[in-house]
Amino acid sequence: MKLLLKQGTIVTSERSFVGDLLIEDDKIVQVSDTISTSADKVIDCQNKIVMPGMVDTHVHFRDPGITHKGDCYTESMAALAGGVTTICDMPNTNPQTISYQAVKDKQELYASKCLCNFGIYIGASRDNLEELKKADEDNTIPAIKIFMAESTGEMTLAEDEFLRPIFAQTCKMIAVHAEDENRRLERLKLFKEGRLPENSEIDLKNPYQHSIIRDNLVAALGTKRAVDLALEFQRRIHILHISAKEELEFLEKGAKTGLVSGETCPHYLWFDKEQIRDYAGLRIMNPALKSQVDQQTLWRALQTGLISQYTTDHAPHLLEEKQQEYGKLPAGLPSIQFALPLLLHAVYQRKLTLNQVVKLYSTNPARNYKIQNKGDLIEGFDADVVIIDPNQKLFINSKIVLSKCGWTPYQGMTLQGGSVVITIRNGEVVYDHGQIVARTKGKSIKIKE
């Protein structure tokens, strides 16, 4: 099967030019100014933008076991509609993905249902060091996930007696939820006792307390600790969902050695903690939202490349769950369908370039995680491509949401800069002008060892 994309603006991580792209079966075989050949199908891409499919290495598709919120079929539909062709799913499912066999079982499940290409994390626990060592030998497992502070799924691993052996005795990259659990618990206790300055204006049921308890220093101390461990043991780590300006000095220290990379997420770039006052649970996630100053600092870090990666931390919950009182409502937001359009809107606002979008949400995720043959429009790479109409505005409302949860925190936003019209995964058109048309499922990624 030959598929020819004609005369689109081809945007790679390094350059942009008007040209053609030829796909044969599941590979990109030629990228050039003009390609003269016969093809089974030709797509006219004039006045369109052609990018590599996005690579989102931080999602929670809720499969297995929490599928009333979402599953790997429904959430991968949302991903394809958003131009995301590859995802890596986190281990805080039910059962937790903390054994090697659980990873293989989950891979089999995703192979039967998931419309995206996929990787499955193995999670660290207090007693699974031998399982993590088994994962070292498997190039389909992207990384080990460590939750250094409390979050959804009760997988907290904060004590040195458990963390240090993992850094010392495993080889695979470690992706870290980097918050300081001791400070979080201390601030939670003080807030409940009415001993923080903010207690005078925030009562014990107000969701705004989330940003007070999980403050900038909770995030910064967690990132410092993760980087210190990486440098001590010379281990490659990735800092997940950076939210606070104070984290960046520690990220920079680690990044200079080549051992540390980091990401941020759309909610930290478009929302700030003051919105919790109006939106309550619809603005609650871990780590918590920070200030507008933090938000502006994160944008600068993306622009300079200090934060090299953009991911969604896509975490669907039902609307009625998010509307519960604080203490009962779960943390996390669904984002994957609109993450790329949000970046395109940032291009429209002149915050980023199209090449930066490709780097942040495709090339660098693939490079950071060493995912083979993904993340750019290069001959020999997998044929994962997204076609964007730069003149098509996107009006976000719940009617177009494909995630099973049925709502979006970006409700009511009008995005300019472009909208996804066609997504190609492994050489197959899987999303076409608002319709999921996939006939096959995604494939497991492979990591370069």
Q: 118-174 pLDDT, tens per residue?
A: 999 999 999 999 999 999 999 999 999 999 999 877 899 999 999 999 999 999 999
Pairing relationship of beta strands 2-11 and 41-44 according to DSSP bridges: parallel
Q: How many alpha carbons lie under 13 Å from residue 121 in its C-beta half-sphere?
A: 28
By DSSP bridging, strand 414-415 and strand 419-425 are: unpaired
Residue 282 confidence (pLDDT): 98
Burial class of residue 36 in the structure, from the number of CB atoms within 10 Å of its CB (0-12 exposed, 13-18 middle, 19+ buried): exposed
Is the model's pLDDT at 178 over the cut of 90?
A: yes
- The SS3 assignment for 239 reads strand
Q: What is the mean pLDDT of residues 216-228?
A: 98
Residue linked to tokens 């010379």: 234
Number of H helices and number of E strands within the chain? 15, 20
Question: Looking at residue 154, what is its pLDDT?
Answer: 82
Model pLDDT, residue 109: 98
Q: What is the mean pLDDT of residues 322-349?
A: 97
Distances (CA, A) of 318 to 87, 112, 282, 408, 413: 21, 24, 11, 10, 20
Which residue in 352, 351, 360 sits closest to 264, CA to CA? 360
Residue tagged 């050039």 (tokens): 32
Cis peptide leading into residue 91 (ω within 30°): no
Structure tokens at 6: 């004609």
| pLDDT higher than threshold 90 for residue 103 | yes
Q: From CA 205, how far away is CA 331, in angstroms rounded?
A: 15
Alpha-carbon gap, residue 188 to 202, rounded angstroms: 13
Helices 216-233 and 160-169 cross at an angle (nearest 10°) of 40
Between vectors from CA 400 to CA 423 and to CA 360, what angle results, nearest 5°?
Answer: 45
Question: 210: pLDDT confidence band, cut at 50, 70 and 90?
Answer: very high
pLDDT at 152: 79
3-37 pLDDT tens trace: 999 999 999 999 999 999 999 999 999 999 999 99
What does the pLDDT look like over 46-66, one tens digit per residue? 999 999 999 999 999 999 999
User: pLDDT value at position 216?
Assistant: 98
pTM as predicted: 0.98
Q: Do 262 and 287 touch, CB atoms closer than 8 A? A: no
Within 8 A by CB and 6+ apart from 176, the residues are 146, 148, 222, 226, 237, 238, 239, 240
Q: Give me the chain's average pLDDT, please.
A: 97
pLDDT at 270: 98
CA dihedral (109, 112, 113, 119) positive or negative: positive
What is the model's pLDDT at position 370? 98
For the chain, which domains are there? 53-368 (3.20.20.140)
**Share above pLDDT 70 across residues of the chain, in percent, rounded to a whole number:** 100
Q: Which of 127, 130, 223 is nearest to 169 (CA)?
A: 130
* Residue carrying the six token digits 């006219």: 44
Tokens of 341: 């359009």
Cα separation of 51 and 66, whole Å? 33
Q: Quickly tell me which residue has 């925190």 as its tokens.
A: 409
Q: What is the pLDDT of residue 153?
A: 73
Average pLDDT rounded to a whole number, residues 220-227: 98
pLDDT of residue 200: 87
- What single-letter amino acid sits at 365? P
Pairing mode of beta strands 144-147, 122-123: parallel
Q: Is the pLDDT of residue 187 over 90?
A: yes
Q: Which of 333, 146, 159, 153 is nearest to 240 (CA)?
A: 146
Model confidence over 64-94: pLDDT tens digits? 999 999 999 999 999 999 999 999 999 999 9
Token match 């994390």: residue?
Answer: 121
Placement of tokens 């796909």 in the chain: 23
Tell me the mean pLDDT in the region 437-443.
98
> Quick one: the chain helix, strand, coil %, rounded to 5?
35, 20, 45
Q: DSSP code of 140?
A: T
- Predicted confidence (pLDDT) at residue 425 exceeds the cutoff of 80: yes
| CB count in 10 Å sphere of residue 304 | 11
- The owner of tokens 């200090």 is 306
Nearest alpha-carbon partner for 196 in 239, 54, 206: 206
Identity of the residue numbered 388: I
pLDDT tier for residue 413 given thresholds of 50, 70 and 90: very high
CB 359 within 8 A of CB 13: yes
Decide the pairing of beta strands 117-120 and 122-123.
unpaired
Consecutive H or E run containing 177: strand 174-177
Considering Cα of 382, then 143, then 61, then 216, what sign does the dihedral take? negative
- What's the half-sphere exposure (Cβ side, CA atoms, 13 Å) at 171? 9
